[in-house]
Amino acid sequence: MESWPSPAVPRLADLGLGTGRLPRVHDTASDTLVELAGDPLRMYVCGITPYDATHLGHAATYLLFDLLQRTCRDAGHAVHYVQNVTDVDDPLLERAVLTGEDWEALAQRETQLFREDMTALRVIAPDHYVGAVEAIEEIVDIVEKLRDAGAAYDVDGDIYFSVNAAEHFGEVARLPVADMIRLSGERGGDPDRPGKKDPLDCLLWQAARPGEPYWESLLGAGRPGWHVECAAIALRHLGPAIDVQGGGTDLVFPHHELSAAEASVVTEHWPFARTFVHQAMVGYDGGKMSKSRGNLVLVSRLRADGVDPMAIRLALLAHSYRADWEWQDAEAAAASERLQSWRAAFAREAAAPAQPVVDALRETLADGLRAPDALVVVDAWAHAEGTDPTAPAMVAAAVDALLGIA
Ligand code: 5CA
Ligand code: ZN
């Protein structure tokens, strides 16, 4: 489907500012900092299920991968970026039933709002932006392959993936079985369904149900399961071995565990992703910001209230991606103030030299995408005096290229 317009990203090398380094990022599967690799670096990030978009938790996730991409580009690496839209799935259909809206109209409206929010936040667009609905053929193909491999079976007309067929199942999240079963139940799975071989087996293809959308296929009339959607889209557009699989920490299990397991059975290749990168959860008002809880702060709401999207971006970048945090309403004003002070600094006739600032920015990003520390680097430069007339424009370009702040 249509993605959104990407912002221009200045090339700092062309400005005589040299090149950066590929970042080290936290890899969930090994629980260590690993240096990224790949040119092009192939990145798949799980997209929205289009309702109640775009809350600050979503935005934080897509900004993390935007920062990652900007850092890789500055290091001279191309990034091949794919993102999905889960435009047919239980929670979306349930919301449509609840509000009496047509599910497709709901998905289209919310996806469009997401595009507008991503554009306003200056998030680099994916090269392929793919809806589940438009990937049905690929998904059916993968499910057939899983069936041929003996990794799928039927329960009352529904087709399930057998986790026992995946040699490396469990290696992404590394959780005890009891935790996996609990999380599966909380996050869209059906561990208690009778007839399954293992409680952790997941739906690949759900037979058509009255009143629900379905597609005719060799698997029978039905619709795709969630995890296989991302496995199929990633395999189709990025191949069997990707460099980064990304999303929020709420997707580590079961979603990324099972997508990776399914893909690895089809391709006979492991690991599915060299690095699994996850954004910690953003909360509000005492809990994880989530559509089911309803404690949402929407990017579009803040924008409508007059908050500069660049201030929203700065507010989110002020938090580490590694630790859960809770949004405070006062953060919008604090970020707006910071944005003003930066813009005033960029408008000066002269300032402290740019290269040390650029070097320090690159260092904080290469060393684990430490965005909050990167902001402090710019603060310090903005507060310092200097006589270099080229510095304001140079630092502004670096802040644009590396942090996405215009
Ligand atoms: N469509 C699926 C992924 S295939 C999905 O999880 N959609 S979502 O709309 O629920 O979330 C979109 C992205 O935002 C996911 O990567 C998810 O991990 C992330 N996310 C959701 N809630 C939060 C939150 N409170 N904090 C940080 N990230 C979040
Ligand atoms: Zn996904």
Task: Tell me the pLDDT tens digit for each residue of 160-213.
Answer: 999 999 999 999 999 999 999 999 999 999 999 999 999 999 999 999 999 999
* Beta strand residue intervals within 86-235, DSSP E: 128-131, 152-155, 158-161, 202-207, 222-224
Map out the domains of the chain with their CATH numbers. 12-325 (3.40.50.620), 331-403 (1.20.120.640)
342 Cβ contact list (under 8 Å, min separation 6): 378, 382, 399, 405
> Which pLDDT value is given to residue 102?
97
> Which pLDDT value is given to residue 246?
98
> Which pLDDT value is given to residue 293?
81
> Which pLDDT value is given to residue 340?
98
Tell which one of 250, 320, 325 to mutate to probe ligand 1, the residue whose CB is within 8 A of the most ligand atoms: 250
Residues in the chain predicted with pLDDT less than 50, given as ranges, are none
CA-based Rg of the chain, rounded to a whole angstrom? 22
What spacing in Å lies between the alpha carbon of 137 and ligand 1's midpoint?
Answer: 25
* Ligand 1 atom closest to residue 248's alpha carbon, by position in its atom list: 18
* Ligand 1 atom closest to residue 226's alpha carbon, by position in its atom list: 4
Q: Whose CA is nearest to atom 11 of ligand 1?
A: 48
This prediction has a pTM of: 0.98
CB of 75 closer than 8 Å to CB of 36: no
247 touches ligand 1 (CB under 6 Å): yes
> Which pLDDT value is given to residue 292?
74
Look-up of token digits 């970048």: 317
> Which pLDDT value is given to residue 288?
84
What spacing in Å lies between the alpha carbon of 355 and ligand 1's midpoint?
Answer: 37
> Which pLDDT value is given to residue 28?
98
User: Rounded to an integer, what distance in angstroms lies between the CA atom of residue 11 and that of residue 84?
Assistant: 28
Nearest one of 244, 68, 225 to 140, comparing CA atoms: 225
Nearest one of 82, 58, 366, 404 to 243, comparing CA atoms: 82
User: Rounded to an integer, what distance in angstroms lies between the CA atom of residue 153 and that of residue 162?
Assistant: 7
Structure tokens at 15: 């400005």
Nearest one of 384, 364, 363, 360 to 372, comparing CA atoms: 364
What spacing in Å lies between the alpha carbon of 287 and ligand 1's midpoint?
Answer: 15
Q: Dump pLDDT digits (tens) for 86-116.
A: 999 999 999 999 999 999 999 999 999 999 9
> Which pLDDT value is given to residue 286?
87
> Which pLDDT value is given to residue 252?
98
